[in-house]
Amino acid sequence: MKLYHGSFTPDIKQPDLSKCRQKTDFGKGFYTTKSFEQAEKWAILRKNRFRAEKACVIEYEIDDIILSSGEYKIKHFDGATKEWLEFVFNNRKYLAAETYDMVMGPVANDSLYATLLLYEQGVLSVDATIAQLKTYTLFDQLSFHTSKAIGTLRFVKTIYAG
């Protein structure tokens, strides 16, 4: 399977967990997506936010069998569900108790932030939040949270964007 990572740092051949941010959707990890377009948007956003020189999309490959081998502890969400919402909320607040090698599920990107904030403030119920989130196009993400998991990624190439 092809995976993409949007960045302003080219040629991330071996991702480094120590450089990954805390308080993200699925916890501190290295985030990828199957969508080139989503990775490209993220790369351009990060380039502009940090006033970097270039935006780039790094392409990786991973063997599909790894995701079903049972060798890795993998959490998978099939869409915006109550469990997914609570998992994202807990990770963004750094309250998550359980860790995984990899996590797969929808991206709660910046365009969804207002909805998540209303949920956090108690303005929206879980059901109302999920209903509102389902009106958005939710892209997928696969995040890697351990060195062992990151070792399954094979660098392919860097594509410069925007």
The first and second tokens of residue 112, run together, are 């969804």
Per residue in 48-77, pLDDT tens? 999 999 999 999 999 999 999 999 999 999
Domain locations along the chain: 2-17+24-161
- Farthest-apart Cα atoms in the chain, separation: 45
The first and second tokens of residue 154, run together, are 């094979």
Per residue in 12-61, pLDDT tens? 999 999 999 988 889 999 999 999 999 999 999 999 999 999 999 999 99
Q: Which of residues 4 and 24 earns the better pLDDT score?
A: 4
Rounded to an integer, the average pLDDT of 132-161 is 92
Contact 43, 6 (CB under 8 A): yes
Report how far residue 80's alpha carbon sits from residue 89's, in angstroms, rounded to the nearest whole number. 12
Q: What is the DSSP letter of 124?
A: S
Report how far residue 7's alpha carbon sits from residue 43's, in angstroms, rounded to the nearest whole number. 4
Spatial neighbors of 96 by CB under 8 A, at least 6 apart, are 27, 87, 90
pLDDT of residue 28: 94
Q: What is the DSSP letter of 23?
A: S
The first and second tokens of residue 150, run together, are 């990151």
The interaxial angle of helices 113-120 and 126-133, nearest 10 deg, is 180
Contact 107, 154 (CB under 8 A): no
Res. 92 pLDDT band, cuts 50 70 90: confident
Question: Using alpha carbons only, what angle is made at residue 93 by residues 89 and 95, rounded to the nearest 5 degrees?
Answer: 90
